[in-house]
Chains A and B, each alone.
Chain A
Amino acid sequence: MRASDRRRRTSSAVTLYVIVLVAFQVFLITVAVEAFQTDDERLAWATAIISVGLAGAAAAFLRYLRP
């Protein structure tokens, strides 16, 4: 496999992975709203921590994309 093909496939995979992370974050928003409605502080904070982690992971994957 040529290096350019490998780079293109890598960037496609990274983009797809970021899309999956963002989709999961949309789900986490619904969980956070549910926690807010039920006044469940532990669930709200757990959701926030996971969401921040996912956002950080998505940002970290950007470095694998070609400029």
Chain B
Amino acid sequence: MNDDRPVPVSISPAWRRDFPYEAVSEEEVTRREFARYLVLGAGTMAAADVGLAIWTQLRTINTGEPRAIVALAAVPIGDTHLFRYPGADDPAILVRFGDTDVVAFSQKCTHLGCVVYFEANEQRWHCPCHEGNFEARTGAVVSGPPTRPLGRIDVEVRDDGQIWALGRHA
């Protein structure tokens, strides 16, 4: 039997003919499901925010115990001395400005944690990673990307001729 009726042709978009590959279940993601995934992500991030808040509330920051750092006579005026405080993984640096005029800071830049060093000519702490600069005596931000001052370490010169670190500020 001769049938002259046209054979039905499935109509598909041009891109489907050019790219005739399908991923498993790619047709099954509805808009609602997509939004549900987003809400799931939003809930996860909210939980993370709450967790960070709880962690921030409950943690204790080691600000250090008073201890001797170095003999005052071992640090010439205008010179610096590297040490670790409050822990062995916390680099710190002190500079002696005068007879008993000593200041100390955490050596970690408050931008991304690079090590800062003292520039005597400019009277500032300099971070070479991103050109951050801090005021020599206060550690306040002078220029560059950091937004927070350097972590200050209280120091004093005691009668035994030693420079003591008393504690670190956050």
B46-73: contact bitstring with A at CB < 8 Å (1 yes, 0 no)? 1011101101110001000000000000
CA distance A67 to B32 in the complex (A): 7
Task: Give the one of A19, A58, A62, A67 with max B CB within 10 A.
Answer: A58
Interface size on B, residues (CB 8 A): 23
- Total chain A interface residues with beta-carbon distance under 8 A: 35
Task: Please state if A39 and B35 are interface contacts (CB–CB under 8 Å).
Answer: no
Q: What is the predominant secondary structure among interface residues of chain B facing chain A?
A: helix
Q: With A15-B31, A18-B38 as given contacts, are A59 and B43 in contact (CB-CB < 8 Å)? A: yes
Question: How close is A24's CB to chain B, nearest CB, in angstroms?
Answer: 9
Judging by beta carbons under 8 Å apart, are A32 and B31 in contact?
A: no
Cα A21 to Cα B61 with chains together (Å): 33
Can you sample 17 A-B contacts with CB below 8 Å? A18-B39, A25-B42, A29-B45, A29-B48, A32-B48, A32-B52, A36-B56, A44-B56, A51-B45, A51-B49, A51-B50, A55-B42, A58-B42, A61-B35, A62-B32, A62-B39, A66-B32
